[in-house]
């Protein structure tokens, strides 16, 4: 870490989350001669940059790290964000629309990768990007960078029971890659059983940030991408520690923020392709909980995991994705003296694919600014009849899952407010051709520019229900490989 900003680099990466880390790591492996600087608007939370906050064992220190991730603006009235994130103070709903009242972001080295659940399912059926050659190879590479395992919690109590019961309820008629299975997770297990969740530190890799040609700057807010004759020439960055703005020349710039702040930076930089900010989509989310029936004693392995995670994959016939977790405690109060068998309480989350429309979008203008003085976002977002039908079907499916597992802990499933998934996509979407419906090409380069790339969940062009991180990291790898070949 340093406060001496460079005058010139080959590649400037804006954002230090898993996608910014994937770009940096790939450039280091593919083109080690290139100089790369990563700029992050938020603070460094852990001694190793980008670690997951669950690596902080002291609860007080962990809570402080979460607080430091929660931005610089005032807390919104009447709405609460989960720890480590912050909400849009205004502009989250346009009158007459549903909006995204729960839309949240984090601001720290490692981005949302410091707070996420580590779920890394692969997209299937129409979730896949059919015009992108080599998608599976990119997903394989993303699994390597994220350290994804498919059996991390197979020794958790009753996880096989949960999987078998869900399979009976859901597997009929599904393709072989869409049957119920363990959730792929970005995690490793230490010999003592301790769980270490992958953050951006794992994606960066130890050798990347230790190398002489890569540098990381925390508390460094990028304000503009500088352009000349349609090509990137660098960035303008504000030092949030000592004040002042600096110009950093670069041959390529990768904007790897999130689905709201990436289009914000492009817009502020005068890069405004017709699709910028459009096709915004969230995954509306349904929650339920169950208590396993007919389990009577501990099904534990010495040193084993306490909580299993299973997956009901998306299909076009059932356009939602189920994440099923065995919980350490009941999410609802139990009767006094009722102590459940470990592993017998199960939380279920069903994520629904959005009916993707250009009308759902984030916009910016010069009349409103956010706490950083950047153009403030305004959300235009509406659930369509198709979305409401999907939600109804998800309610039925999650009830079916609970009935297969045991007894419900709540009478009915709960639909969370729009934006709760934190899986916003589409605002800088990838496209096959420059026809006005996408922001970047299949290599992640913004249409009509030279050397301006985008990375992150916002690049995903399809309607997905699965957790998007694996896919967005895969697309970031593809962008980095193109940069390495172009700047060779």
Query: String of b and e for 249-273 (b: at least 16 CB within 10 Å)?
Result: ebbbbbbbbbbbbbbbbbbbbebeb
Q: Pick the catalytic residue: 288, 321, 380, 423?
A: 423
> For 331-340, which contacts have Cβ atoms below 8 Å and span 24 or more sequence positions?
331/289, 331/409, 332/289, 332/409, 332/410, 340/291
Q: How far apart are CA 445 and CA 395, in angstroms?
A: 39
DSSP letter, residue 340 = P
Measured CA angle at 43 (ends 37, 45), to 5 deg = 110
Q: Under 8 Å CB-to-CB from 436, ≥6 apart: which residues?
A: 273, 274, 275
Q: Which two tokens stand for residue 368?
A: 């409103």
Please report, in angstroms and rounded to a whole number, the separation of the first and last CA atoms in the chain: 27
What Cα–Cα distance (Å) separates residue 217 from each residue in 205, 262, 351?
A: 17, 18, 35
- Give which of 106, 117, 12 is closest to 455, Cα–Cα: 12
Q: How far apart are CA 180 and CA 268, in angstroms?
A: 44
Q: Is 221 a catalytic residue?
A: no
DSSP for 428-454, please give it: T-B-SS-SSS-SB-TTSBBTT-BSEEE
Collapsed DSSP state (helix, strand, coil) of residue 87: strand
Q: List active site positions.
A: 423
């Amino acid at each position: 870490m340093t406060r001496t900003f460079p005058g010139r680099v080959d590649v400037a990466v804006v954002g230090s989350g898993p996608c910014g880390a994937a770009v940096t790591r790939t450039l280091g492996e593919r083109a080690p001669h290139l100089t790369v600087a990563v700029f992050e608007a938020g603070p460094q939370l852990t001694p190793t940059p980008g670690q997951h906050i669950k690596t902080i064992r002291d609860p007080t220190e962990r809570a402080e790290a979460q607080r430091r991730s929660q931005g610089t603006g005032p807390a919104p009235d009447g709405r609460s964000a989960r720890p480590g994130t912050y909400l849009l103070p205004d502009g989250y709903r346009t009158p007459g629309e549903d909006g995204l009242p729960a839309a949240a972001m984090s601001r720290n080295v490692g981005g949302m990768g410091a707070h996420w659940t580590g779920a890394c399912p692969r997209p299937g059926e129409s979730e896949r990007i059919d015009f992108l050659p080599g998608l599976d190879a990119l997903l394989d590479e993303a699994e390597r960078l994220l350290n994804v395992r498919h059996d991390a919690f197979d020794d958790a109590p009753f996880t096989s029971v949960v999987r078998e019961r869900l399979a009976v309820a859901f597997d009929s008629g599904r393709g072989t890659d869409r049957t119920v299975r363990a959730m792929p997770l970005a995690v490793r297990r230490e010999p003592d059983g301790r769980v270490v969740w992958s953050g951006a530190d794992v994606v960066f890799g130890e050798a990347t940030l230790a190398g002489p040609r890569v540098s990381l700057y925390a508390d460094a807010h990028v304000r503009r991408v500088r352009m000349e004759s349609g090509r990137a020439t660098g960035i303008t960055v504000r030092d949030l520690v000592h004040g002042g703005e600096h110009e950093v020349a670069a041959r390529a710039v990768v904007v790897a923020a999130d689905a709201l702040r990436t289009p914000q930076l492009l817009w502020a930089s005068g890069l405004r392709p017709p699709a910028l900010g459009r096709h915004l989509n969230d995954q509306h989310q349904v929650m339920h909980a169950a208590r396993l029936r007919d389990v009577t004693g501990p099904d534990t392995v010495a040193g084993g995991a306490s909580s299993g995670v299973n997956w009901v994959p998306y299909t076009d016939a059932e356009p939602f994705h189920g994440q099923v977790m065995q919980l350490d405690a009941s999410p609802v109060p139990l009767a006094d003296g009722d102590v459940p068998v470990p592993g017998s309480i199960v939380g279920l989350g069903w994520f629904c694919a959005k009916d993707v429309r250009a009308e759902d979008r984030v916009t910016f203008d010069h009349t409103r600014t956010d706490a950083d003085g950047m153009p403030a976002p305004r959300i235009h977002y509406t659930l369509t009849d198709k979305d409401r039908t999907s939600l109804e079907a998800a309610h039925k499916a999650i009830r079916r899952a609970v009935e297969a597992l045991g007894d419900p802990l709540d009478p009915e499933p709960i639909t969370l407010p729009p934006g709760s998934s934190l899986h916003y996509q589409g605002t800088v979407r990838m496209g096959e051709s420059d026809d006005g419906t996408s922001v970047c090409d299949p290599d992640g380069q913004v249409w009509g520019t030279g050397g301006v790339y985008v990375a992150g969940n916002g690049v995903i062009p399809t309607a997905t229900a699965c957790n998007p991180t694996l896919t967005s990291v895969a697309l970031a790898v593809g962008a980095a490989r193109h940069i390495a070949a172009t700047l060779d």
